[in-house]
Structure 1
């Protein structure tokens, strides 16, 4: 007679309680110090048991002393995990900072600070940078999160959410552009500079997909070197991303206080339309989890091919394909359940290590500091807050959960790329919104760039 995994877990817990009771009553005894050791093992830095964390730090220190921190994936996973979860713990324990996304802020900007002032060993920074640029591990993370979150969604909620998010995005972008420009003018900046060099870059989709093509077009129209324009717009993008992280954390706090505004990661309540699909909450088998991981990788490879053929960004192409597959019931419930487990693993185990790597490799402390003057700070703050606020109220008006709708708009003001979307959504504890955030950042960013280039061409 076989027993289920749930029954097995119950039996295991009963046996453990029996052993503990027997130990306390003197029926039998554990080896000396066993209970104390178990208590120590229950202490964690992030997901890492404290003794394991200590061993990792000691070994990494020895390797650094010998200058032999290689790019071996096992060493790099240990390194990024130890550093990432350390930063997250620091951010979570600082009063005040904790309420505005401290774990995410510290995980990104503390390593950027340490790199800028050369407090991190050059061998360490070089190893992380080589690993990051060689493996592009963030794209595996993105594939698993997007595929897992989409396959876990209710079909009706998915399609309705995709259609509806363009309304708060469009309205929010227009109002934020107007309010942000007027704010810059009130602080003595010209309307031209505020709009084209601060407001538009914030909503352009980041650096790679936003600032670079935007400044290339600016350079051709204005006959100014692209590098000169790029240096002016990047600080606004970096500071805008920091404000977006803080807004996301505050939205999460708001959702905890006012449950009626909180979809807890759902953009739209399927029960307002047709009945929601039943969700399989049973434990996924190992083979289904592994298969779901391969499905996510396959989708991303198809996205890369689509990018080569038609120029559509690989994550967006992958997103559309997964949505199509979900809607036509091409994936079995067992694989969907496996994908949910894959998503859960990556979101809990890999987020802060990736954020630390982003801080080391792609976040510029100098660019952040360059944006710190009163006019820039207030203009950027007002632009991002306006975008977020409009998303909240317009989303509520069209039937979306206000917190989730506002978060999608907030992602529109991030630095772009999957890493910074991860930072914003992690701050709000809603990584399952990644598919909608990709649409906000990439597609809406492309529309913003196009409109700005056309307008600049007309007035120049």
Structure 2
């Protein structure tokens, strides 16, 4: 009796053990299944962000906004700008017609500007991004890293030949664009004086900070008019010119995919070896080399600021010349050049769209863009930018450059300074040409402003 009871008790315990074991195995199976699915989702990305992390970040940001806890701390700003920037880029890449004319760049730059103008973004979010932008000036960190990284990664012969050759199509395109743009404005009923000085010249002045401001200060001194009034007149042309240049650059990239003989895929000429991708060099580059290369970029930018204070040369241009000098004199070791290449790739891949989103929030005026949308303005500015780009295509081919690369560099001459260069080169997937774009924008803009002020002084 007792023995049978014991046996039945053991059997019951055994059955219960088997039951719990089966449940345990089932639970482990489902856990393993969930983990496998999560790993698969981690390979799906919005830009650079794995999809599960993207959802978690959006959830956290929503809660922070609901409680009013959004700050301009760098960690929060990295999360916001990266998530929203790549969201806009993905949206632009999926709109059928827009994606062919630079959709990711256009949406990432101008959609935030539109949302801010119509107050469709939380005010606290916009204020935090503005505070971060003003306190960090992150644009110049980006430009310094891309310019110095791409210069140090170039072949020396390519660097010298490219900088010597780009001035020919740039000069020819600028003169032709000035003539065609002015004639177009006159054909649409705009006066030659207004068309040239308030539409054509601002497009090629080099942006806002180093273009429109010194240009309108010069106009104000000559015409005895308020600088703010003149500034408001030229801003729409600059913004619209930048938009058209983005579209031209994207179309040139599409044309290059269909007609490969005209495209260098970021290389200026057939002799251009481009950015070195030697695997042995890459494998020998350490974290210390990458960090040192980043410090080289920052150091050269600081020297550029000192040069600007001493002689007035724009800091990015001075930095560019110093980087070229360092490259040509073999002052930087091959391993540090490899580190600079990685710094360039990081910023061009990871930082571009978050930066464009911040630009759209902070310094892209949607109302000025709308103000420029008159038939006469659109026709005049389109003729100016397209002439500049087209002449760059054919003259570049004549001097031995790849026509598409030469045309894109000329298009940068009609952008919004460094901001425009980022947008235009991103639309054409050629950020490695940033040094040449900076020459077109900064030096080309300075020459344009000087010539325009001298001419206005002569005829006034």
Give the TM-score normalised by structure 2.
0.91
Aligned match of 2:3: none
Counterpart residue number, 1:60:
61
Give the distance between the partners of 1:278 and 1:170, measured in 2 at CA: 30
1:30 deviates by 8.5
Alignment of 1:389-408 (within 5 A): 389-408=390-409
- Tell me if 1:86 matches 2:84: no
TM-superposed deviation, 1:224: 1.6
Aligned residue number for residue 357 of structure 2:
356
Q: CA–CA distance in 1 between the matches of 2:251 and 2:145? A: 27
Contact 1:203 1:448 in 2 (8 A): yes
Are the structure 2 counterparts of residues 452 and 149 from structure 1 closer, same or farther at C-alpha, using a change threshold of 3 Å? same
Say which SS state the counterpart of residue 32 (structure 2) adopts: coil
User: Aligned in 2, Cα 1:133/1:276: closer, same or farther, shift over 3 Å?
Assistant: closer
1:100, CA displacement in angstroms?
0.2
Deviation, 1:41, is 0.9
| Displacement after TM superposition at 1:145 (Å) | 0.5
Q: 1:43 touches 1:49 (CA, 8 Å); kept in 2?
A: yes
Give the conservation status (yes or no) of the 8 Å contact 1:389–1:406. yes
Match runs of 1:137-156 below 5 Å: 137-156=138-157
What is the correspondence of 1:131-210 to structure 2 with a 5 Å cutoff?
131-210=132-211
Alignment correspondent of 1:457:
457
Is the Cα–Cα contact under 8 Å of residues 156 and 276 in structure 1 kept in the other structure? no
- Number of aligned positions between the proteins: 429
What is the SS of the residue equivalent to 1:270? Answer: coil
Q: Secondary structure in 2 aligned to 1:312?
A: coil
Q: Deviations over 1:105-125 (max 9, x none)?
A: 000100000000111111000
CA pair 101-185 structure 1, distance change in 2 beyond 3 A: same
What RMSD, in angstroms, separates the aligned Cα atoms of the two structures? 1.5
Q: Deviations over 1:13-57 (max 9, x none)?
A: xxxxxxxxxxxxxxx999232321111111110000011011111
TM-score w.r.t. the length of structure 1 is: 0.91
Cross-structure match for 2:421: 421
Q: Which residue of 1 aligns with 2:16?
A: none
For 2:385 and 2:165, the matched residues in 1 are separated by 21
Q: Structure 2: how far apart are the matches of 1:291 and 1:425?
A: 26
Q: 1:215-364 alignment to 2 at 5 Å?
A: 215-270=216-271, 279-281=277-279, 282-283=282-283, 284-364=285-365
Please tell me whether the aligned partners of residues 303 and 316 of structure 1 are also in contact (alpha carbons under 8 angstroms): yes
Seen in structure 2, the aligned counterparts of structure 1 residues 176 and 276 have a Cα distance that, compared at 3 Å, is closer
**Shift in alpha-carbon separation, 1:34–1:435, aligned structure 2, 3 A:** same
| Distance (whole Å) between structure 1 residues aligned to residue 419 and residue 228 of structure 2 | 24
- 1:7 is aligned to none
Do 2:201 and 2:452's aligned partners in 1 also have CA atoms closer than 8 Å?
yes
Q: Please, which runs of 5 or more residues in structure 2 have no aligned partner?
A: 1-28
Structure 1: gaps of 5 or more residues:
1-27
Question: Based on CA coordinates, which of the two structures has the bigger radius of gyration?
Answer: 2
CA distance in 1, matches of 2:400, 2:334: 28
Q: Distance in 2 between matches of 1:345 and 1:415?
A: 23
Q: 1:149·1:343 contact (CA, 8 Å) conserved in 2?
A: yes
- Given the alignment of the two structures, is residue 373 of structure 1 paired with residue 409 of structure 2, yes or no? no
